[in-house]
């Protein structure tokens, strides 16, 4: 093997490196540090996507979490500007089995270099199959990525146990923008995807709450003739309504929906005043605003292959998902709320619609990025809701 290839695959020869992941239950997984030289604590989840790691890392919903990829070969496509889903990489840490060198013509940077530059610790050479089975058996666990060589296994596991975790915590404020802004005012991000010539006139105006919003959501709205202004998560409903939007969008975001009561309050005040669409965290916030309850799933839904059925038609969509909390079905008021979508793996609630107000939400990600385009029609459905209103 050439010397440069040995360097790129150096993790294969250094499985006894000092870097490791320690879970709160004391389980340890060793590997080689391939990201930032920084110890960190976070919630460990697994993602079943075969690719799309750059979109995953730049999804603000993963803030505070260590993402373990179940697919064994990661890094082949490198990283590039066009595939970013936000203004930076937000995941708390990254764990892979094989970190491969980039071999794609679109690559602008090696994955390891991107992680290092973003300050994200990462491990390669990990037995991710064993880690995934552990998380499926025990449920989501807190962990400590120890990559500096300064922590013992026992100290790292203790640090994981002592961490407050994500439950009840407001991670939305950590990822949301500070000031409102018009989406892609100069067209740079639209052109980077080669869709500038395919856009209809923007004849509707929507305000999108940034709880951790992804750029492909904004592209999806713009492709349906909607001009979008993105606003901070803490903007009061009265200020949003003063902008006289045709509709309001509630974005995805990280952590526990119960940790952002100010967002629940804003959604409650918006319902019935203006058409509303929500996804992921936005779906949970709408449910909370309607008096329902959310709860923690055992190990969450993270990946690009989750089957969801639309109740009215029986149609099945393959969806992209990323959430650790769900809406408790028995707490939804059937007189006010219709359940529109169900997860076919575990029968959890995947979509709701208000029976009187123009409002609906889904738990999954219709914008893909990464993932299938089966649910992309939901952006058009939002437009139809606004036009009907």
Q: Which residues are catalytic?
A: 280, 365, 367
Whether the CB-CB separation of 172 and 254 falls below 8 Å is answered with yes
- And the tokens for 121? 């610790």
β-strand partners of 249 = 208, 277
Cα angle at 365 between 183 and 90, to 5 degrees? 65
Three-state SS string across the chain, please? CCHHHHHHCHHHHCCCCCCEEEECCCCEEECEECCCCCCEEEEEEEECCCCCHHHHHCCHHHCCEEEEECCCEECCCCECCCCCCCCCCCCCEEECCEECCCCCCCCCECHHHHHHHCCCCEEECCCHHHHHHHHHHHCCEEEEEECCCCCCHHHHHHHHHHCCCCCCCCCHHHHCCCCCEECCCCCHHHHHCCCHHHCCCCCEEEEEEECCCCHHHHHHHHHCCEEEEEEECCCCHHHHHHCCCCEEEECCCCCCHHHCHHHHHHHHHHCCCCCEEEECHHHHHHHHHCCCCEEEEEEEEEEEEEEEEECCCCCEEEEEEEEEEEECHHHCCCCCEEEEEEECCCCCEEEEEECCCCEEEECCECCCCCCCCHHHHHHHHHHHHHHHC
How far apart are alpha carbons 363 and 310 in whole angstroms? 12
Whether the CB-CB separation of 53 and 69 falls below 8 Å is answered with yes
How far apart are alpha carbons 362 and 365 in whole angstroms? 8
């Amino acid at each position: 093997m050439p010397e440069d290839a040995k360097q790129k695959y150096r993790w294969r020869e250094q499985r006894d490196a000092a870097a490791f992941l320690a879970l709160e239950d004391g389980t340890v997984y060793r590997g080689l540090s391939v990201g930032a030289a920084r110890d960190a604590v976070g919630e460990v989840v697994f993602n079943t996507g075969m690719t799309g790691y750059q979109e995953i890392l730049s999804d603000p919903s993963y803030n505070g979490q260590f993402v373990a990829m179940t697919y064994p070969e990661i890094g082949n496509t490198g990283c590039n500007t066009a595939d970013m889903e936000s203004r930076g990489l937000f995941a708390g840490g990254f764990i892979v089995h094989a970190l491969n060198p980039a071999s794609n013509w679109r690559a602008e940077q090696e994955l390891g270099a991107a992680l290092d530059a973003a300050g994200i610790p990462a491990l390669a050479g990990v037995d991710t199959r064993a880690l995934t089975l552990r998380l499926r058996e025990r449920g989501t666990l807190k962990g400590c990525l120890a990559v500096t060589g300064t922590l013992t296994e026992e100290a790292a596991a203790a640090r994981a146990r002592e961490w407050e975790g994500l439950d009840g915590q407001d991670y939305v404020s950590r990822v949301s923008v500070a000031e409102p802004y018009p989406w892609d005012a100069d067209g740079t991000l639209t052109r980077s995807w080669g869709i500038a010539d395919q856009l209809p006139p923007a004849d509707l105006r929507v305000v999108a709450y940034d709880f951790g919003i992804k750029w492909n959501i904004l592209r999806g709205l713009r492709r349906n003739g909607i001009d979008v202004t993105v606003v901070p998560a803490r903007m009061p409903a009265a200020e949003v309504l003063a902008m006289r939007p045709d509709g309001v969008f509630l974005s995805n975001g990280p952590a526990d929906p119960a940790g952002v009561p100010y967002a629940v309050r804003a959604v409650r005040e918006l319902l019935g005043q203006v058409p509303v669409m929500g996804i992921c965290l936005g779906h949970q916030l709408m449910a909370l605003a309607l008096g329902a309850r959310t709860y923690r799933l055992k190990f969450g839904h993270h990946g690009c292959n989750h089957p969801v059925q639309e109740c009215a038609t029986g149609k099945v969509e393959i969806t992209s998902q990323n959430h650790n909390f769900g809406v408790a079905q028995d707490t939804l008021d059937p007189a006010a709320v219709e359940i529109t979508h169900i997860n076919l793996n575990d029968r959890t609630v995947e979509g709701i619609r208000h029976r009187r107000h123009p409002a609906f939400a889904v738990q999954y990600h219709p914008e893909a990025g990464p993932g299938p385009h089966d649910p992309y029609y939901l952006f058009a459905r939002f437009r139809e809701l606004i036009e009907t209103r």
